[in-house]
Structure 1
């Protein structure tokens, strides 16, 4: 939407905000072992998603409440559902689905997070695997590890009350896009670290170095 004059605003208009991020986390184990862990997401997803509230939705779905966010004097407590499709050739598809029996009050969430696994030699990793194992006196340094690559696409449509739309389309659009990106920057790195820790701590491996995680916003 364009324009910032009050006279140009359609009070019934729906504003759409969007953001796109890419990331990668390394798991210091072979691909098959990492894939087995990720496929068993019922055992770790809710725990690693805290402090977000998560309810299960069937065998492969979750209803997520991320807490209260807002700007311009208006706030929401977004709730949406995601479905985690079984992997095909090490590719995963996670996407939003309707929350059964729930009508979002004035907003709509479209979430897509394709992900794929790649096994790489330790010479091609982001972190220095050999140095890490030596530093922590760990045995059996692997020859190959797994990189988990992902994209996150998030689009949110919101119908604002009149007191917000009077501020002008340009202000609303810029603020909404910024807030949406800030939400992802708060949630995604925290979730990545928790999943990475959950996997490795079960194996007696301490927290991996920061270099083993990559997270960037993709600018359009």
Structure 2
């Protein structure tokens, strides 16, 4: 089924702003808002009138090392996480938490700066989990995010074959739920159209950030271990 011309026009304008200073002087600051993040049980209760945009994502990367070496690297996330997240702004919170500002996105005068708090939980039996932590923000009555991810390691090289190059596959699953209370000028559009455009934009954001972060982690890991 083909999308309508109006929906196509909206999608064309849903373009990420790469720089924090992309808004012109004539833009009203009241139109610029931020996402905040909460844990999942609070999401439905705190924003009962919100529209939910959900996306599930699977990713994978290969690292040229044995599983134990990869685990030691991932465990020391205080070193690599901030380096690899750049150019996103990252603020460490405690020993395992980070607040990420993802950049600005907007359409039809409605700009947002997605911001999310994540906790990289210590691995359990080789499984790494990332969950949402609260971010204090004055817009918490409008926008909330629930991020739940699990990462698994699988050594794909034969540990008994000394002639083979060690390699570990890192795979992850992400479930993302963004709840948004829109202003009235957005709600004048058909609800189905808002849902479709929002889901598509969320998918694009996740894919872009995942691809960029994957490449940076691979490069950082191999460089830090002297692997070409």
* TM category, shorter: 0.7 to 0.9
User: Among 185, 194, 216, which residue is 1:163 paired with?
Assistant: 185
Structure 1 residue 142: deviation in Å? 4.2
Structure 1 residue 141: deviation in Å? 6.4
Aligned residue for 1:32? 68
Distance in 2, matches of 1:154 and 1:199, equals 26
Please show how residues 133-172 of structure 1 align to structure 2 within 5 Å: 142-172=164-194
Q: Contact conserved, 2:155 with 2:167, CA < 8 A, in 1?
A: yes
Q: Contact conserved, 2:64 with 2:165, CA < 8 A, in 1?
A: no
Q: Does 1:199 align with 2:221?
A: yes
Q: Does 1:184 align with 2:219?
A: no
Please show how residues 70-219 of structure 1 align to structure 2 within 5 Å: 70-99=106-135, 101-105=136-140, 106-121=142-157, 142-206=164-228
- Secondary structure in structure 2 of the residue aligned to 1:24: strand
Distance in 1, matches of 2:216 and 2:166, equals 22
Distance in 2, matches of 1:30 and 1:177, equals 37
Distance in 2, matches of 1:65 and 1:146, equals 30
Distance in 1, matches of 2:109 and 2:203, equals 18
Q: Which runs of 4+ in 1 moved over 4 A?
A: 140-143
Distance in 2, matches of 1:104 and 1:192, equals 30
Structure 1 residue 104: deviation in Å? 3.3
Gaps of 5+ in 2: 1-47
- Secondary structure in structure 1 of the residue aligned to 2:83: helix
Q: Does 1:67 align with 2:103?
A: yes
TM-score using structure 2 length: 0.73
Distance in 1, matches of 2:49 and 2:163, equals 57
Structure 1 residue 47: deviation in Å? 1.0
Aligned residue for 1:213? none
Structure 1 residue 121: deviation in Å? 2.1
Where relative contact order (Cα < 8 A, 6+ residues apart) is larger, the structure is 1
Structure 1 residue 81: deviation in Å? 0.5
Equivalenced residue count is 177
- Secondary structure in structure 2 of the residue aligned to 1:44: helix
Structure 1 residue 102: deviation in Å? 2.6
- Secondary structure in structure 1 of the residue aligned to 2:122: strand
Q: Does 1:15 align with 2:51?
A: yes
Structure 1 residue 65: deviation in Å? 0.6
Q: Are residues 141 and 29 of structure 1, via their aligned partners in 2, closer, same or farther at CA, if it must alter by over 3 Å?
A: farther
